[in-house]
Chains A and B, each alone.
Chain A
């Protein structure tokens, strides 16, 4: 049930990302709302469907993006894995886990994207890519990390209500 909720939710975010957020740029960097939601979902304590959401998010983004599906999926799955590791390591500091996972997730997805583009023959100057795309994107993602965490936290609490022992 919770897995199926990801389809309309992430679908809506992909539309928002493609229609509006991809035009809001800091230098050449843009915010990755799907990545933020996947990371925020993964760092929630009681969530058990993080991998499913990552796959659904990757599939939905691939409908709008010209990037190879494998690169998108690999990026999101690695970012989700990183977020899950951070959730266990920083279980007492979920907000710190969110911020760290967001930054690392941005680096991971961009690294995978650059690698995929290089493999397909697209020339990507690495220093320029870091300076004008990756770092601005990381900054934008970090700015939105806390609001997205709060929103997804509410959603997770609603879907996974805390059990109280009597």
Chain B
């Protein structure tokens, strides 16, 4: 009985060793491939189905994450765009202030107070602007207002914190001007459309398109030699006493943002000197 068991054991060991040797020698590969292929196929099928099911549940979460990320990026883009606009605005303001500084340096005799234009006259018939500086800042009635380009107007009403300035384009404006290079004196008048015209130019004066229009200082309302604009065209009729001309203003009154008020100029009131009719 014992010898039979020993024989069984020895046979089993030999069988196992034989199979191992056959496997190590590669003789069992086709057999193992044949045996494993159904398992591999089944596992591949199962794995792909599992992957598909997992994707089904996890993909929406990815879309949600992507949507959230997209929203974050869009917010970032908006923030950066706003920053760009703000910087562009600051650059534009810097340009205006730089030009105003240049103007102030070019006219060192004058003292200036800068002011922002915060409103316009509600009536479409009048050309006035409201600025954010008033008597607290030393602004008084009659003071001239200029921009980096040239003459804007003069102060007509003042409160503690704001003032109203009449533009030179206002229909009630009348400013004594001098033309360069001819040196002829004339009267600048505004209109309801905002166009400027020259009146009372002597017939003998030689006036051409392109001539410079400057304040003459006569009348005492404005300091002399502030640029107003250029003569656009001249109308001369022999039957009339004076020539007239239209003027292209150097200041764009629709785009006024910051102005300078000349605070050391005292307008002269010549009303008592005008003879009563």
A, B from the same assembly:
yes
Residues on A lying within 8 angstroms of B by beta carbon are 14-15, 17-19, 21-23, 25, 28-30, 32, 34, 61, 64-67, 110, 113-114, 117, 120-125, 128-129, 132-133, 137
Query: CB distance B192 to A132 under 8 Å?
Result: yes
B118 located at the interface, meaning its Cβ lies under 8 Å from any Cβ of chain A in the complex: yes
Binds A, one of B57-65, B119-127, B144-152: B119-127
A66 and B125 alpha carbons, distance in the complex (Å)? 10
Does the CB pair B128–A66 fall under 8 Å? yes
Query: Do A65 and B192 touch across chains, with their CB atoms under 8 A apart?
Result: no
Q: Which residues of B contact A (CB under 8 A)?
A: 118-126, 128, 130, 156-157, 164, 166, 171-172, 192-194, 254
The chain A residue sitting closest to B171, CB to CB, is: A122
Closest A residue to B172 by beta carbon equals A122
B122 x A133 contact (CB < 8 A): no
Contact (Cβ within 8 A) A124 B130: no
Knowing A28-B193, A66-B156, the reply to whether A117 touches B171 (Cβ < 8 A) is yes
Provide the residues of chain A in CB contact with B157, threshold 8 Å.
66
* With known contacts A65-B122, A66-B126, A66-B156, A28–B172 Cβ distance under 8 A: no
Among A28, A66, A122, the most chain B Cβ lie within 10 Å of the Cβ of A66
Cβ of B108 to closest chain A Cβ, rounded Å: 32
Distance to closest chain A CB from B267 (angstroms): 17
Interface of A is mostly: helix
Q: A18-B122, A22-B121, A65-B121 are in contact. List 4 more A-B contacts (CB 8 A).
A: A65-B126, A66-B121, A133-B124, A133-B125
Contact of B193 among A14, A21, A64, A132 (CB under 8 A): A132
Would you call B119 and A117 a contact (CB within 8 A)? no
B194 neighbours in A (Cβ, 8 Å): 28
Q: Report chain A residues within 8 Å CB of B128.
A: 65-66
Q: Say whether A129 contacts B192, CB under 8 Å.
A: yes
B119 lies within 8 A of A18 (CB): yes
Chain A residues whose CB sits within 8 angstroms of the CB of B254 once the complex forms: 23
CB of B191, distance to nearest CB on chain A (Å): 8
A146 vs B200: C-alpha distance when bound (angstroms) = 49
- Assess the A64–B130 pair: CB atoms within 8 A: yes
Partner of A120, one of B119, B121, B156, B172: B172
Question: Smallest distance from the beta carbon of A120 to chain B beta carbons, Å?
Answer: 7
- With A122-B171, A123-B171, A133-B192 in contact, do A64 and B125 touch (Cβ < 8 Å)? no
